[in-house]
Amino acid sequence: QVQLQESGPGLVKPSGTLSLTCAVSGASISSDNWWTWVRQSPGKGLDWIGEISHSGSANYTPSLKSRVTMSVDKPRNQFSLKLSSVTAADTAFYYCATLYCSSTSCYYPGWGQGILVTVSS
Amino acid sequence: QSALTQPASVSGSPGQSITISCTGTSSDVGGYNYVSWYQQHPGKAPKLMIYDVSSRPLGVSNRFSGSKSGNTASLTISGLQAEDEADYYCSSYTNSRGIFGGGTKLTVL
């Protein structure tokens, strides 16, 4: 069963860049799954940020598209999220997840434990 | 795409059944069988409970079931137990983008 683990700074200064990494175990990042980032502001619901395939093809939510970059590191079996020009509104728990998608099925079978990132000076 | 619509809260007594609805559009919930449901306990990551509208992953209790009619999907939990108290999120996938519902807080009275 795939396991995911987020890592990165828990505190980022306003206008800075949030950088997180998700280590994948139990599956190859070169599989057909898509690798996803979801965030959750404290006390709020889940917000889809975007996804990336092993080939580097990425889809981002329109509201963050100008500030988001995702990448894949095949040798290390991990993928990453960068979010630039952050503000307090970007303070949230950030989860990485794997998306299994076929012609008849799409769902997120695996999630990381989440990491709280606070934007503050 | 806007978030899927869920009731903010539902409640039930132990042993009872409850249903949580998830309303989307013909472009997401109504157009594909890509509806999934996630359970989230406080401070924990979401956990897959239902996928493909009504399929259960191995290890998930058969007290959890899913269905869909038109643009609305539903999650039913029968024989409520105290451990079921959590937040529940529906999800769909369309146009190369994931969509989540706003979440429903289930309280077991």
A-chain CB neighbours of B52 within 8 Å are 104-105, 107
CB contact (8 A) between residue B34 and residue A105 = yes
B34 to chain A, any CB pair closer than 8 A? The answer is yes
pLDDT digits (tens, 9 = 90+) for B13-60: 999 999 999 999 999 999 999 999 999 999 999 999 999 999 999 999
Question: What amino acid is encoded at A89 in this protein?
Answer: A
C-alpha to C-alpha distances, B59 to A71, A82, B11, nearest whole angstrom: 33, 35, 24
A112 — pLDDT class (breaks 50, 70, 90): very high
pLDDT digits (tens, 9 = 90+) for A5-18: 999 999 999 999 99
CB contact (8 A) between residue B98 and residue A105 = no
Q: Is A109 exposed, middle or buried (0-12, 13-18, 19+ CB in 10 A)?
A: middle
B73 to chain A, any CB pair closer than 8 A? The answer is no
Joined tokens for residue B98:
């994931």
The answer, yes or no, to whether residue B1 has pLDDT greater than 70, is no
Of B34, B52, B99, the CB nearest to A48: B99
What is the sign, positive or negative, of the torsion defined by CA atoms of A33, A62, A67, B45?
Answer: negative
**pLDDT averaged over every residue in chain B:** 96
Q: Best interface-test mutation with A: which of B36, B55, B104 has the largest number of A CBs within 10 A?
A: B36
